[in-house]
Structure 1
C-alpha cells in the first residue's frame, strides 16, 4: 500500500543501524485510544473533514520535527528517520540530503535551545542543513524567544514589565552560557572593562521592588491566573538562579560576559548564529495545515482570518524587535509559542475555531507539549491538533524515565496521509483519509 512506501529505508551504516534499531519496523492505522486522542470520535472527525472538498494537503511532502532542545544527535537521527538525510561520517554535520530530503519541506517546530546536551552543536547541525540548501522553515519556540528577549533586555531601558526577563530564562539557559564561555571566552581577557560582580547582579536581576510593582503593571494584560503563575515562577527563579550559575562553575560576571558574547553571536550581522533569529517565523501554512510551536487563541485566529499568515509573520518580527518586550511576550502573537490551553493562557473557544476555518486552517501541527508514546491527534474546541513533540533530547528523556535516545518525525503528504514515527511507540502511526490502512511490515 502507498503508506508503507513512505516509511523510509534507513541506510545500513553503523550509525543508521543504531537509528533503525530504535524505530518501529511495522505500521498500523493511527490508534484510536487514550494515548492518541482525547475523544473517541476525533479520528472520525478528522477523516470526514479530510475528505471534504475544502480540505487541501501540502503540495509537497512536509517533515515536521519539533523541540530538539539542544540535542544535535537526536535532531539528525530524526532527519534520518524521516528519510531526509544520510549520515556520511561519525560526527555531527557530516550528512547530505537524500533525494526525498531535496524534494520535501522540513519544518522545525521551535525550541532548538535549552536542556542539552549541546546548544552550539545543535545550532551548527541546523546551520549545515541550511548550507545544503534544504527547504527549511524554522518556527519560533518559547525557549528560543526567551533567550532573545533575555539578550535584548540587557541593552534596553529597564521597566517593570521586562526587567525580570533575563532571570526568567532560568536554569535551562545556563548550559548555553557555560558553552559560550568555554568555547569563546576562556583563556581570553574577558574581564577587561566588565562591570563588577555586584553591578552584574543589578543588571541581570529585577529591582528589589519588582514583586510589589509587577501585579499592578500586568493588570489588564494578564489574567489573574496568569499574574499569579508569573509571580510564583519568578519567586523560584530569582531565588535559585545564582545558585544554578555557581553549580555550573560560573560567576555572575562570567554569565554577563557570556550573555554579551551571545548578543554578538546571535544579533550582530557578523555573528556565527545571526541566521537563527533572522530566519525564524511564527507560523507556516501548507494547505489546510497550520504549523506552529504551541497553539492558537481567539485573537490570533481572528487575525489570521482577516489579515493572513504573511501579516502575522511580519507583525511577529516587527513587534519583537521594536515593541516593549512585556507587550510582545504576553500578546496573542506570543501566545502561539507559549500556550498550553491553560486558564492562564489566552483562550481558544469555538469562536476561534470558526475563525481558523475561515482562514483555511483545518489542522494545527504543533510541538511544545511533549509526549511519551509518539504523536497524538486531538480535538480542542472543534479544532484538530497534531501534537508532535515526541521528547527527543537526552536531558528530558533521562529526567522523564525514557529509555534509549529520541528519534522520530511527523510526515505529511497528500498521497500517503500522515505518518507519526517515534522511538517511543512500537509501530508507525498512519492516518489516511479512507481509513482502510492495514498493518504491514515497514520496507
Structure 2
C-alpha cells in the first residue's frame, strides 16, 4: 500500500538547534521521512486515516497554532526522560545542573499530556523538574492523566467519611502510588506524624474495604455501572487487595506508614498552601489549540457535545467541579473517561455523531498520550476521528519491562505552518506529517 505523498525536503529546517551539556543525544534523529502511516508502528491503516482526513475536510481548512507546540506525555516519574525530551525538541538547555529555556523554548507552548506520576524512578524529582520548568517562564499547559488522578482519588477516598462506593478506592488505586508514598514517607513524614496515627491493625482497617463491602457494593454501584462493570470491579478489587499488600511489603512500608504518608499527601497535594498543591490546581483535562484537541486518552459523545456547544473551558470547569465531589461518581463518569478510555466496549462511546460534532466545530485531530509506543508516535483513525498517539515510552521502568534500552526521549512538535513532527530515540528518523499536503 502506498504511503501518503509529501515533500520533506524543507522539513529539517523546522527543528531548532539542540543545546545540552548533561547527556548524549546522538540517538535523536535529525533526518526526516514522510510519516509512514501505512506501517503498523506508525499508524497501520492508511485508508482509515484518509477517510478521517476527507471527513474533516468537509468542514473547512485546518487551523494551526500561532506558535510552535511541543507535546510530551507520560513521563511517569522519570525526570531525566522528561527533560531529555525537552532538550530533544530544542526547548531547554541543561548546563552544570541548571535548566534554562532556549530562544526556541521562549517562543513555544509546551503541553504535558498527563501521567507525570507512578512507575519511577522518582515522583518527587519529576514534580520538582516540572516546577523548575514552570518557574523558568515557559508557556506550559498541564493535562491530567489517569495515573495522576489515581493519587487524587485514593487520597480523597481515604480522608473522606467512609461509604460503600469509596471505601475500596484507596486499595483500588493505591498499589501504583505506593512508590510515591514511600518517597513521601522518606522526605516528609516525621516521627510526630507517625505518633498521631493509630496502631497497625486500625490503619489496615481504614485502608482496606470492610468485610461486607463486596455484598453491599453492587446495589450502591448500580446507578453508575452496568452489571458487567460491577462484576469487573469486584474481580479487580479481589486481585488488587493481594497486590497492594505485596507492593507495600516490597516498598518496606507498614500500614501505619502508608496511612501516615497518605495523610501527608493530602496536605502536600490537596490542601491550600501545600508544597505540591500547584500540581492539581493548575491541571486541566483538555486544551484546544486551533484544529487540535489535546487530551490524555480520548473522548466520548457526551464530551463532544459539551465541547461543541460550550468549548474547552466548559469541559475543564466540569472537571474541576466533579473532581471535588464524590470520587466514585467522578471516576466512572464522562470527564474521567477523557483520561482512561481506550475505546474499549467498557468505555463510554465515541460514535459517528460525536465525531461529526467535533468536525463541525473545527476539531480535526486528537493529540493524546496513554498508549505507549515503542517506535515513535502513531497517527491513526479511531472511530472515524484522527488521533496522534504521542506516548513514546519515556520512563526507564517501563522501558526495562518492555525490552527498550536506557532512558527514553521524544516529543511531538506542531508548527504554525501545519507541519507535524514526531521525534523519538527509538525510531531512526523524524516523522513528518502535513495533512493538507498529504491528503
- Deviation for aligned residue 1:181: 0.8
Q: Which of 51, 58, 72 lines up with 2:79 in the alignment? A: 72
Is there any run of 5+ residues in structure 2 with no aligned partner, and where?
A: 1-8
Instruction: Identify the residue that residue 34 of structure 1 maps to in structure 2.
Output: 40
Other-structure match for 1:440: none
Rounded to whole Å, the distance in 2 between the matches of 1:130 and 1:77 is 16
8 Å contact kept, 1:229–1:344: no
Match of 1:63 in 2: 70
What is the CA distance between 1:70 and its match in structure 2?
0.2
- Preserved CA contact (<8 Å) 1:363 1:384: yes
Q: Is 2:85 aligned against 1:81? A: no
Quote the residue 1:22 is aligned against: 27
Residue by residue over 1:319-346, the C-alpha shift from the partner in whole angstroms, topping out at 9 and shown as x without a partner, is 111x211111111111000101111111
Distance 1:133 1:345, change over 3 A: same
TM-superposed CA distance for 1:256, in Å, is: 0.6
The 8 Å contact of residues 287 and 294 in structure 2, kept in 1 or not, is answered as: yes
- In angstroms, what is the RMSD of aligned CA positions? 1.9
Structure 2 distance, partners of 1:144, 1:433, is 32
Q: Is the 8 A contact 2:60 2:362 kept in 1?
A: no
Question: Residue 232 of structure 2 aligns with which residue?
Answer: 229
2:17 & 2:49 partners in 1: Cα distance? Answer: 28
Q: Report how far residue 421 of structure 1 moved.
A: 0.5
CA distance in 2, matches of 1:348, 1:407: 31
Does the 8 Å contact 1:366/1:386 carry over to 2? yes
- Cα offsets for 1:232-274 (capped at 9, x unmatched): 2211111221221112111000011111111111122222111
Q: What is the rounded CA distance, in whole Å, between the counterparts of 2:31 and 2:10 in structure 1?
A: 14
**CA distances 1:385-414 after superposition (whole Å, capped 9, x unpaired):** 001111110110001111121000001112
Could you tell me how far apart the structure 2 residues matched to 1:71 and 1:298 are?
A: 34
Q: 2:52, 2:385 within 8 Å by CA — same for their partners in 1?
A: no
Distance 1:228 1:314, change over 3 A: same
Aligned mates of 1:340, 1:326 — CA distance in 2: 19
Deviations 1:39-61 (A, max 9, x none): 22244346654697342111111
* Aligned 8 A contact 1:295 1:366 in 2: yes
Alignment match of 2:112 (pick from 83, 93, 108): 108
Distance in 1 between residues matched to 2:107 and 2:141, nearest whole Å: 14
Rounded to whole Å, the distance in 2 between the matches of 1:56 and 1:251 is 54
- Helix, strand or coil at the partner of 2:46: coil
Cα deviation for residue 312 of structure 1 reads 0.9
Q: Which residue of structure 1 lines up, in the alignment, with residue 195 of structure 2?
A: 192
| In 2, Cα distance between equivalents of 1:221 and 1:65 | 33
- Give, in angstroms, the shift of residue 127 of structure 1: 0.2
Which of 7, 13, 17 matches 1:9?
Answer: 17
Structure 2 residue 177 is the aligned partner of structure 1 residue 173: yes
What corresponds to 1:123 in structure 2?
Answer: 127
Answer yes or no: is 1:44 the counterpart of 2:50: yes
CA shift for structure 1 position 218: 2.1
| Contact 2:330-2:336 within 8 A present in 1 as well | yes
Looking at structure 2, the residues matched to 239 and 433 of structure 1 have their Cα atoms a distance apart, in angstroms, of: 48
Q: Is the 8 A contact 1:374 1:421 kept in 2?
A: yes
- Residue in structure 2 matching 1:364, options 343, 363, 366: 366
Residue 35 of structure 1: how far off its partner (Å): 1.7
CA distance in 1, matches of 2:252, 2:116: 24
2:319 paired residue among 316, 320, 326: 316
Question: Residues 300 and 47 (structure 1 numbering): CA distance in 2 closer, same or farther, change over 3 Å?
Answer: closer
Q: TM-score, normalised by structure 2?
A: 0.93
Q: 1:292 aligns with which of 289, 292, 295?
A: 295
CA–CA distance in 2 between the matches of 1:12 and 1:316?
A: 38
Q: Given the superposition, is the C-alpha separation of residues 224 and 425 from structure 1 closer, same or farther in structure 2, using an over 3 Å criterion?
A: farther
Q: Distance in 1 between matches of 2:68 and 2:57?
A: 16
